[in-house]
Amino acid sequence: MVSQEIDDTLIHHSEIVSAFTSSQQKLINVEACQRQGAIVAVTGDGVNDSPALKKADIGIAMGISGSDVSKQAADMILLDDNFASIVTGVEEGACYFSRIREFPHEISPMGPARNP
């Protein structure tokens, strides 16, 4: 598929699963999704996954079965190789992020503002 065909496919389908793809195809898929404005997360465990892990907005390597190269290319490493950990991590991160946004004065090095 050429870039335009991939872009058209992404526009007309809300859910797409790609499996058993080459390292080049993984990278093409990441770039196509990013062209559409998507935030892209990629999981991988092998050396061949490294380019896509690096290019993705969030590269997630497997901690137990993953190669050293994939771990170095990734932004996050799943220590237990359990995909459910991604969901838990995102949920916890969203919780922390909302707390930080609600209470910016609490994390200020000057402390909360005080009235005289």
Please tell me the total number of residues recorded for the chain in this structure.
116
Specify the pTM. 0.75
Confidence at residue 106, expressed as pLDDT on a 0 to 100 scale: 61
User: Is 23 strand, coil or helix?
Assistant: helix
The 10s digit of each residue's pLDDT in 57-106 is: 999 999 999 999 999 999 999 999 999 999 998 899 899 888 887 776 66
pLDDT of residue 112: 57
106 or 37: whose pLDDT is higher? 37
Residue 111: pLDDT above 80? no
